[in-house]
Structure 1
């Protein structure tokens, strides 16, 4: 299977609008950090060690019967293609650095991503749509067990799985949910909720992980520590906090409708108008407007707009995908112009040249 397949479509499996509470929980991710015994951690290993780790991991997954995985080295990919994989959440921004001697092994349906030589030798990632903590864990654990049968994992009876960062030592598991929380953001309740979540041992980040912002009111909530807790305890804790956030978000949406319906409708339809007719559309404004339109659809205020198109535009609006779609490198203003044009076309406000030709022929 060729890596080109993963560059073509914007909507990956985790962006499909199904799964429990999919109107608020956009996706669930499980990530397992593992290292091989006898090798230094990636922060200090040699190029020869990196190549040997790469060879061993790839051999196990790619030589399996009926393997549905695609393998590629980061150094073999142009910058634009690495950026697209980051934008689709299939690799981390850290792995995109070609100097790390990294590689990625992707399943055909894009739910499994095995990153090699990132912060740890192996990072197994499973992403599923909606709230599916148990299902995502089982899928990641299956891949982990398969690798562990063939590879010598670095494991200590007292400390658990040994990892490059001490905060990952133990289960080596980070469980996270990506949540769309527009009502909590609009009402500014999110400002007091984030510190409360942190006190409960969880961390709140932007949609692209550590150091990223939360454009479009999309937040990633994950466990902070992995040592001293079992996998099931981590899943249970995150599930409980997620359930509370869902309840708070739903309550906030109800209050906005009850107390400020006209103002809310005005905001949502203005955003729909912006993404439908704008000639210049910066990424920050595009993310905010998409969040508003998504909220309008969830509340039944905005109709006849396909949620799958919004999911597609969330990815297509990113710099890497925009430039691939345009077939050229674009400066910032050029991206803003092209982004606006793409939004108008996908929301069917303006007909594309192809559709105009079809009408002429008819």
Structure 2
């Protein structure tokens, strides 16, 4: 009793002394038993914050357009620079990445959950501008979309535009801070918990294996890279946010046996849960994600805030955390200067196919819902679904307008071309054809003109690998055209016996060996390159049908697949009129 009485008396005594000190008492807090100094930010960190503000608003940050720069005002700096969360995170921890990466779009991360409230004068403004979510609003109740997945049938059933579909969400484990404040023991402890949850999956569609990054064998690493599953140590944005401490401890990858369900452990967020597959069946992808999330949360509780929803390291992912996306090629629409603006009006976000801060490859974009906060998980998926559906409609309309665009076809004699060539400033060895585009660009030669047109019409593949394969087909056909020169000379001189002999030699030595290769190729796939018609298919069919019409109408009898290939293409509604109306001669 005596010791308890003394502690209580001492507490009252200290409280009285602090009251007498007046303003000085603001530096302390009291409990019934202890006196504790309130956390202070050291002078060096405050200096860094002030220097960061100066950098963003000085010559070095002149081109910076981040939300951080916009909302980190002098008033906000003065209010927040001396504050620190219970885990020791400061304003500098929140803004560090955006200060070093002046090209960032947002530029802030939350080191722990408390940062969202302690540094609210900054985070609330950024969240409001990015999500359109005000401080008075509240995240809707959880609605993953259970029982509603049939509302999302395939967006592109014929596979003309969409290559693949992916839906992911982020989750943070309850009771743990975000990356900058995690210890190595935290990482390992969290990894152990989620591994146990993975082992409890009973649905055969979800069953799989966990691969820790620490100590991963080279063979496993190669396989995960080949599957495009392996994540690397964070990019420069995450590096400067201190998101990569103790790498690779506690990091790993889980994927199911079908490789359509994937979980990244302790990459940017504690967990990135991903469902994906080829094609455009959004409903099926969402159904798998729902089962995966429900299975984990039975074993491991997640961190959720009443106002902000599921808590994440980056404020752009707060709320539903759902990012539903497709890899899609929209060649006509993407060529428009207002393409990004069109997507933004549909609440869509456009990225390259290798994630944030990457560029498009082969004309394929990663397009997703932009909003995460202020709408449910189901609503986030629907936002992407409705927006991409509209983009496909616009692409179809854009094609109709583009393909009917008028152009002038000027034919010149050799003498006329020689005269015009000098006036136009072309070299003496420049040969026709020449294409001029709006008097601003000139393209010379059949191959370069065809490549330009193929690129404009989405006929030049969806990746650099496809384009190389298409170029190889075109090169082989050019070699065949060169090998046909003796046949053309015999035709021009009307030496038909020589033409027949040259044709037979050409068939056996040049044409048939290549066609046997293509015949075999078409036994394994529907198109010459990729999963849809390309310049390679059109060029090959044009060459084969010309040879049929001009030299030998029966030579394709030896190649059943190639003959069928040509017939199917020529029966297409837009192709048939062209085939019927073209000349029966090369000349």
Q: TM-score, normalised by structure 2?
A: 0.41
Matches within 5 A, 1:129-168: 129-168=278-317
Runs of 4+ deviating beyond 6 Å: 95-98, 260-265, 268-271, 290-293
The runs of 5 or more residues in structure 1 that have no matched partner are 1-16, 272-282, 294-302, 312-362
Which residue in the other structure is 1:332 paired with?
Answer: none
Residues 1:25 and 2:162 aligned together: yes
Structure with the bigger RCO (C-alpha within 8 Å, sep 6+) is 1
- For structure 2, which runs of at least 5 residues remain unmatched after alignment? 1-153, 236-243, 408-445, 456-461, 473-520, 532-587
What is the DSSP-based 3-state SS (H/G/I as helix, E as strand, rest coil) of the residue aligned with 1:215? coil
Distance 2:359 2:470 in 1: 15
Distance in 2 (CA, whole Å) between partners of 1:132 and 1:75 is 35
Q: By how many angstroms is 1:195 displaced?
A: 2.3
Structure 2 Cα separation of the partners of residues 83 and 202 of structure 1: 34
User: Which residue of structure 2 lines up, in the alignment, with residue 198 of structure 1?
Assistant: 344
Matching of residues 43-58 of structure 1 within 5 Å: 43-58=180-195
> Quick check: 1:310 aligned with 2:458?
no
After superposition, the C-alpha distances for 1:13-54 in whole angstroms (9 at most, x for unaligned) are: xxxx99625220111111110011111212331111111111
User: Which of 213, 221, 225 matches 1:74?
Assistant: 213
- CA distance in structure 1 between the partners assigned to 2:252 and 2:169 by the alignment: 16
Q: How does 1:228-307 map to 2 (within 5 A)?
A: 228-259=374-405, 266-267=450-451, 285-286=464-465, 288=467, 304=522, 306=526
Partner of 1:35: 172
For residue 135 of structure 1, report the CA deviation from its aligned partner.
2.1
Specify which of 321, 326, 348 is matched with residue 177 of structure 1.
326
Per the alignment, residue 15 of structure 2 pairs with none
Deviation of 1:255 (Å): 4.3
Residue 162 of structure 1: how far off its partner (Å) = 1.0
**Contact 1:27/1:129 (CA < 8 Å) preserved in 2?**
yes
- 1:60 paired with 2:197, answer yes
Q: Is the 8 A contact 1:134 1:235 kept in 2?
A: no
Cα deviation code 1:71-94 (max 9, x no counterpart) = 111233367964763564424445
Tell me, yes or no, if the aligned pair for 1:27 and 1:127 is still in contact at 8 Å: yes
Preserved contact between residue 27 and residue 178 of structure 1 (Cα < 8 Å)? yes
RMSD: 3.7
Q: 1:284 to 1:227 in 2, by over 3 A?
A: closer
Deviates more, 1:59-68 or 1:124-133: 59-68
Cα distance change, pair 18–198 in 1 and its aligned pair in 2 (3 A): closer
Write out per-residue CA displacement over residues 94-116 of structure 1, whole angstroms, 9 at most, x where no aligned residue.
57989243100011111000110
1:20 match: secondary structure: coil
Counterpart Cα distance in 2 of 1:269 and 1:80? 43
Give the 3-state SS of the residue equivalent to 2:358 in structure 1.
coil
**TM-score normalised by the chain length of structure 1:** 0.64
1:109 matches 2:329: no
Confirm or deny: 8 A CA contact 2:201 2:295 kept in the other structure: no
**For residues 471 and 373 of structure 2, what CA distance do their matches in structure 1 show?**
39
Pick which of 126-135 and 59-68 moved more. 59-68
Which residue is equivalent to 1:222?
368
Mapped pair 1:99 → 2:99: no
CA shift in 2, pair 1:84/1:138, >3 Å: same
How far apart, CA to CA, are the structure 1 residues paired with 2:310 and 2:471?
Answer: 42
What count of residue pairs does the alignment treat as equivalent? 272
Contact 2:167 2:285 in 1 (8 A): yes
Separation (CA, whole Å) in 1 of partners of 2:323 and 2:162: 17
Paired with 1:75 and 1:308, the residues of 2 have a C-alpha distance of 42
Q: What SS does the corresponding residue of 1:232 show, helix, strand or coil?
A: helix
**Does the aligned pair in 2 maintain the 1:19–1:129 contact within 8 Å?**
no
Distance in 2 (CA, whole Å) between partners of 1:257 and 1:206 is 27
1:38 and 1:162 map into 2 onto residues whose CA distance is 12
Change (3 A) 1:80 1:195: farther
Looking at structure 1, the residues matched to 159 and 220 of structure 2 have their Cα atoms a distance apart, in angstroms, of 29
Whichever of the two has the greater Rg, that structure is 2
Counterpart residue number, 1:345:
none
Residues 1:71 and 1:309: Cα distance change in structure 2 (over 3 Å):
farther
Distance in structure 2 (CA, Å) of the matches to 1:244 and 1:263: 34
